Amino acid sequence: MTMSYKYYFICAVSLIFIASCAKKKEEDQLSSVSPISTIDGSWSTSCENGAGVQQVFTNAGASYSTITANYYYDSGCSHLAYTMDIVQSYVVSNWQTEDARQVGDINWTYIHVYITPKDSQVAAAMNSSALCGITGWSGGVSITVDGLTCGSITLPTAGTVEYDMIQYTLNSTLKDQGFTPGDLSYGLSDANHDGTSPSSRPVQSNSSLRMQKRN
């Protein structure tokens, strides 16, 4: 796999409905530099084309993160169909401040991946297709899918480590690269930087999945 589990799972997997990752609008330039603790709290993309992503960090530097991908029946994101939750522990290191960004290494250790159909209609569709090899889906009930193949994607098992980078954009200098002030983003994976080992850690940030802080 030449893309991080996190990005591939959220952006490329459409289990029942077609969904795409959201794009952020330009925001005003930030006036101050934030310390590493600024990543604590809740972040999200906007919800567009029936999909949106939320991420909650606790105790920045060495603790836990939950990424929730929300998928909707409608492009206006008013009727939730199902969610995917990725629970990880993480450690941030080598944090440094540059002219336009703060950047560092982040190691993710996967704990669990859950899928939750939000109603009986979605559960029935998942059961009909035996999503992830499971035929016992029920509306409102989460099922752990660690290590299972869901569609064309084999999900990580508990304990899998991904070696990534993390970037916090400080000002509009990186606008031409697709970043706006306040964006939190991760590494861009390719064949040589797929995050499967420290030596294959991504070295460029991915502008396709950018979040803004919500609290």
3-14 pLDDT, tens per residue?
455 554 554 445
Closest-CA residue to 71 (of 22, 19, 119, 116): 19
Closest-CA residue to 2 (of 199, 204, 196, 147): 196
182-209 pLDDT, tens per residue?
999 999 989 999 999 999 999 999 988 8
Backbone φ and ψ for 78, nearest 5 degrees, come out as: -110, -15
- What pLDDT is attached to residue 32? 41
- 25 pLDDT band, cuts 50/70/90, is very low
Distance between CA atoms of residues 186 and 200, nearest Å: 14
Neighbours of 32 (CB within 10 A): 6
